[in-house]
Amino acid sequence: MNVAARPAPPSGFTNLPRHVAIIMDGNGRWAKARRLPRIAGHKQGVEAVRRVTRAAREFGIEALTLYAFSSENWRRPESEVRDLMGLLRHFLASELDELISEGVRLRVIGDYRKMAPDLVRMIDDAVARTAGHTGPALVIALNYGAQAEIVAAAQALASDVAAGKLTVDAIDEARFADALSTRDLPPLDLMIRTSGEQRLSNFLLWQAAYAELLFVDTLWPDFDAGTLAAALEQYGMRERRFGGL
């Protein structure tokens, strides 16, 4: 296994976040502005994923979580969903060797097993082949919804209580967080949403409790290492008190 050493932070950067999450928004508007079909925007969005995941590794970010397909995205036209699934297949096939060579640990959160069987097999294979890596984590949220994640965690804890494995009094914030799909990741430090929209859209609601939120006007297909660097600089200038003085 070739596990790359964690790079030094870029010059001038201080107080880098350990865990960054991105709501990748604006593919459709990018395509519309150029009078192109929506799939063209999604293809450019995949290129942005490549750029940003590489930049995140170079900047020394320990975990990068990308909102790739929400549980609400099934409401989109069937042809668009099919195109998105095809792009996901292509990304996994084309990027897996690089993720392995860079020592990246791929994680998928969300109910992705409701996707097509061949895609589920590709995801399982990619996750298994990178599971032993100790480098940065790349987390892809697929068929993910934060409210469903919280409900599932509550149900799991309730089952443990009913089975006598856990007492009600033993359930606290740490125990609840340990029941979530992000339990082995660093706490979320920074959440970025592109395209100017200012909402969380059912993404990492529990995890974002004390995360810094940053809404940028850049459409996702135009997001690159420079945009990420600017976001990290803004994060570094914020004072995080977590409710204290």
- Residues belonging to the binding site for substrate are 26-30, 38, 42, 70-72, 74, 76, 193, 199-201
Chain Cα centroid distance, residue 147:
16
CA-CA distance, 54 to 224, in Å (whole number)? 10
The annotated binding site for Mg(2+) is made up of 25, 212
Let me know how many helices (H) and strands (E) the chain has, helices first.
Answer: 7, 6
Size (the chain), residues? 245
Helix axes 78-101, 117-130, angle to 10 degrees: 20
DSSP secondary structure of 146-189: HHHHHHHHHHHHHHHHHTTSS-GGG--HHHHHTTSTTTTSPPP-
Whether 73 is catalytic: yes
The annotated binding site is made up of 25-30, 38, 42, 70-72, 74, 76, 193, 199-201, 212
Could you tell me if 208 and 188 are in contact, meaning their C-beta atoms sit under 8 angstroms apart? yes
Rg (CA), the chain: 18
Given the residues 73, 83, 160, 202, the one annotated as active site: 73
Q: Given phi > 0 = left and psi -120 to 50 = alpha, else beta, which region is 172?
A: beta
Given the residues 2, 15, 25, 178, the one annotated as active site: 25
Whether 25 is catalytic: yes
Return the active site residues.
25, 73
